[in-house]
């Protein structure tokens, strides 16, 4: 058995651990930006897991426009670190938003651009999943509330609300999730590939 026998499971572990923590830090930023209920048990769970490193970073990185800049910088640093680690394991490329990014031969600036592309793709994916879960929950348990539903609705609302203003429900049928899903997918296709292209130089 060659070294590749251990590389694949190791890559899976690295991806999973990094991506889960990056997602938690990003969710903390997004929920704070959207003024979600931080007394929500799910919010408290996210805050407790992400507070130690952010408490240190906030001493160095001030807030910008009232937003927690340290969270975004930390997300980018984690993604960048993940790419460096994967490159050290001789991983030639990674999938970012459906586009293969050649981390093996990229410069350090290129890796930074790939990190930005990966973070944007993740933000759009969070909105997409929130919209899909919002629709499913509205079918399964309309009108009910629990901590998860509250946070999902908070994440989905910024995407759905502007569309509802343009396209009101037709015959009681809300088409905003369909258009929101389409717009998010198109945005990912238009934004992510050019950044990855720039990272190749």
Q: How confident is the model at residue 150 (pLDDT cuts 50, 70, 90)?
A: confident
Q: Are 51 and 73 in contact (CB under 8 A)?
A: no
So what's the pLDDT on residue 4? 60
Burial 95-107 (b: 16+ CB within 10 A, else e): ebbebebebeebe
What average pLDDT score do residues 120-131 get? Answer: 96
HSE-up of residue 179 (Cα within 13 Å, Cβ side) = 15
So what's the pLDDT on residue 5? 63
Element spanning 149, H or E: helix 147-166
**Domain span at residue 71?**
4-199
Please check the confidence at residue 41 and state whether its pLDDT lies above 80. Answer: yes
So what's the pLDDT on residue 192? 96
Tell me how crowded residue 153 is: count the other CB atoms within 10 A of its CB.
17
Q: Are 121 and 41 in contact (CB under 8 A)?
A: no
Q: How confident is the model at residue 45 (pLDDT cuts 50, 70, 90)?
A: very high
What is the C-alpha to C-alpha distance for residues 30 and 154, in angstroms, rounded to an integer? 10
**pLDDT, the chain, mean:** 89
Burial 49-63 (b: 16+ CB within 10 A, else e): ebeebbeeebeebee
So what's the pLDDT on residue 119? 97
How many folded domains does the chain comprise? 1
The candidate with the shortest Cα–Cα distance to 19, out of 97, 107, 119, is 119
Q: How confident is the model at residue 29 (pLDDT cuts 50, 70, 90)?
A: very high
């Amino acid at each position: 058995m060659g070294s590749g026998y251990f590389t694949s499971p190791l890559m899976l572990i690295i991806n999973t651990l990094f991506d889960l923590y990056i997602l938690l830090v990003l969710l903390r930023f997004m929920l704070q930006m959207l003024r979600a209920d931080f007394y929500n048990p799910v919010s408290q769970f996210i805050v407790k897991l992400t507070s130690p490193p952010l408490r240190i970073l906030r001493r160095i990185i001030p807030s910008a426009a009232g937003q927690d800049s340290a969270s975004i910088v930390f997300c980018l640093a984690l993604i960048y670190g993940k790419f460096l680690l994967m490159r050290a394991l001789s991983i030639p490329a990674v999938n970012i938003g459906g586009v293969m990014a050649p981390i093996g031969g990229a410069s350090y600036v290129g890796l930074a651009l790939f990190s930005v592309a990966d973070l944007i793709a993740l933000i759009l994916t969070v909105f997409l999943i929130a919209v899909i879960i919002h629709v499913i929950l509205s079918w399964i348990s309309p009108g009910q509330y629990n901590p998860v539903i509250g946070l999902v609705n908070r994440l989905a609302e910024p995407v759905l609300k502007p569309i509802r203003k343009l396209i009101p429900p037709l015959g009681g049928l809300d088409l905003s999730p369909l258009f929101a899903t389409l717009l998010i997918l198109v945005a990912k296709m238009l934004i992510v590939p050019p950044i990855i292209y720039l990272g190749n130089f």
